[in-house]
Amino acid sequence: MDQLLANIKIQVNDKIYVKDPETTTLGRKIIKNSLIMMDEIGFDNFTFKKLGELIGSNESSIYRYFENKHKLLVYLSSWYWSWIEYKMVFATANITAPLDQLLKALEIVTEKIEDDQNTPYINEALLNKIIIAEFTKTFLTKEVDEENKEGFFLIYKRVINRMAAMVILIAPAYPYSKSLISSIVEGALHQHFLKDHFKTITDCNEMVSPSDFYKHLIQHLLSPKS
């Protein structure tokens, strides 16, 4: 799978960017270093001017790729979920038992990510940290509805619907498949945050991962006895 991932171009809605950053050196530099900088100072303190200074490039050059920093974050998120979706489809393709399939998918959306080395200008470990800390900001805006119509969140929603479909295969009578999965996907990011910042309201830590918690939840909730 590592080899295959190297040959796949992650798809991102082209309305998100002004110019596709994957096509030029500067574009890739923007992506790579925006990850480093956002991780370091956070999205709120991040500006195109600072990024320009970091990469020895002009602020206005960055505006040629992204309208504003919000769109850049939407781009990074979209890339992330597209990459997750790819990993998920691939990892679950050969699994026949629906429950095992769901557990595998669950692992992929809830685990802590390591850099996968196949995308030279995207450090997935960093990106995962940024998603944990900043993803909700992409849609908690007054412009959500418009941006949703433009399809900015399509891949994210597709990932959730794929998993919800697996839930239905396992437990056709369970009435909350979508809410369960959207709750888990969002919740996993939240639990990662809690274990780093609000340790007193989570059971997750070095030994227990959000994956463990949610696997247990799924198994007890969807097992045939209940």
- Over the window 67 to 106, marking each residue x when it contacts a copy of itself by CB under 8 A and - when it does not, the resulting string is ----------------------------------------
Which of the residues 47 through 66 are near DNA (CB under 7 A)? 47-50, 56-61, 63-64
| Contact status: 140 vs DNA (CB under 7 A) | no
Nearer to DNA, 143 or 203 (CB): 143
Q: What is the 3-state secondary structure (H, E, C) of the chain?
A: CHHHHHCCCCCCCCCCCCCCHHHCHHHHHHHHHHHHHHHHHCCCCCCHHHHHHHCCCCHHHHHCCCCCHHHHHHHHHHHHHHHHHHHHHHHHCCCCCHHHHHHHHHHHHHCCCCCCCCCCCCCHHHHHHHHHHHHHHHHCCCCHHHHHHCCCCHHHHHHHHHHHHHHHHHCCCCCCHHHHHHHHHHHHHHHHHHHHHCHHHCCCCCCCCHHHHHHHHHHHHHCCCC
Q: Please choose which of DNA, a copy of itself, none residue 5 contacts, taking the beta carbon within 5 to 8 angstroms, the exact cut-off set by kind.
A: none
In the set 42, 68, 97, 115, which binds a copy of itself (CB under 8 A)? Answer: 42
| Contact status: 37 vs a copy of itself (CB under 8 A) | no
Binding interface with a copy of itself (CB under 8 A): 41-42, 44-45, 133-134, 136-137, 139-142, 144-145, 148, 153, 157, 160-161, 164, 175-183, 186-187, 190-191, 193-194, 197-198, 200-204, 208, 210, 213, 216-217, 220-221, 223, 225-226
